[in-house]
Chains A and B, each alone.
Chain A
Amino acid sequence: EDKVVQSPLSLVVHEGDTVTLNCSYEVTNFRSLLWYKQEKKAPTFLFMLTSSGIEKKSGRLSSILDKKELSSILNITATQTGDSAIYLCAVAGGSEKLVFGKGTKLTVNP
């Protein structure tokens, strides 16, 4: 059975800190790994990592895929209160379905 595990489940930091969120997976015929940010409602897409694109960066956010270790990290530098959200990791395998982890709840205090 395909599985995605995120850690930590919850994290509290102060503004300006750097955080690293982890995602590990076991999936048949890996195709891609996706990161989403969920504030109150709809998860919004952040990055998609594949075998041909193992590193992505956008502003203060960056993500790396380690296919050997079957894992990915999401880094956020110089955190702001607006970064407070649940960060979801999902993996696409041989089927057309995404398998989601339970998410990491990040709280950034001023």
Chain B
Amino acid sequence: DGGITQSPKYLFRKEGQNVTLSCEQNLNHDAMYWYRQDPGQGLRLIYYSQIVNDFQKGDIAEGYSVSREKKESFPLTVTSAQKNPTAFYLCASSTNRGGSNQPQHFGDGTRLSIL
């Protein structure tokens, strides 16, 4: 079945440690997105990528990094510079055909906590 797979479901980070969250999609979507969700805060955009080997900062990119080496994959690294990483992280993808309006589809998320 086509979909978006995020792993792991739960992740614990030690002080000063970088951790990487995986996001893989087999929907043949061009665009991929990373969001952070905190209780009562809705979804906030961290990074997004419209095409392979290109990505842009979202509204809260500080302390995070991404790569887009393959169309199917958009991993997110939470660096030690992110002082408050505890949150629910959601990855999404959508088609991006010349600016057409298409909804984003989401993975099941990764819940990150500090040890």
Contacts and interface: CB of A to CB of B under 8 A. Distances in A.
A31 interface: yes
Given A42-B109, A45-B103, A48-B101, A88 B43 contact: yes
B48 A103 contact: no
Contacts of B107: 42
B103 A43 contact: no
Looking at B43, B90, B96, which has the most chain A CB atoms within 10 Å of its CB?
A: B43
Interface string A43-80: 11100101000000000000000000000000000000
Interface string B47-73: 010100000001000000000000000
Contacts of A101: 42
Interface in B92-108: 96, 99, 101, 103-108
Interface residues of A, number: 23
Contacts of B101: 31-32, 48, 50, 92
Contacts, number: 49
Contacts of B108: 41-42
A87 B84 CA distance: 26
B58 A43 contact: no
A14 to B, nearest CB: 24
Given A32-B101, A42-B107, A50-B101, A102 B42 contact: yes
Given A48-B103, A97-B45, 6 more contacts: A44-B106, A45-B103, A45-B105, A88-B43, A90-B43, A97-B58
15 contacts: A31-B101, A34-B104, A41-B108, A42-B4, A42-B90, A43-B106, A45-B103, A90-B43, A92-B101, A96-B48, A96-B99, A100-B43, A100-B44, A102-B41, A102-B42
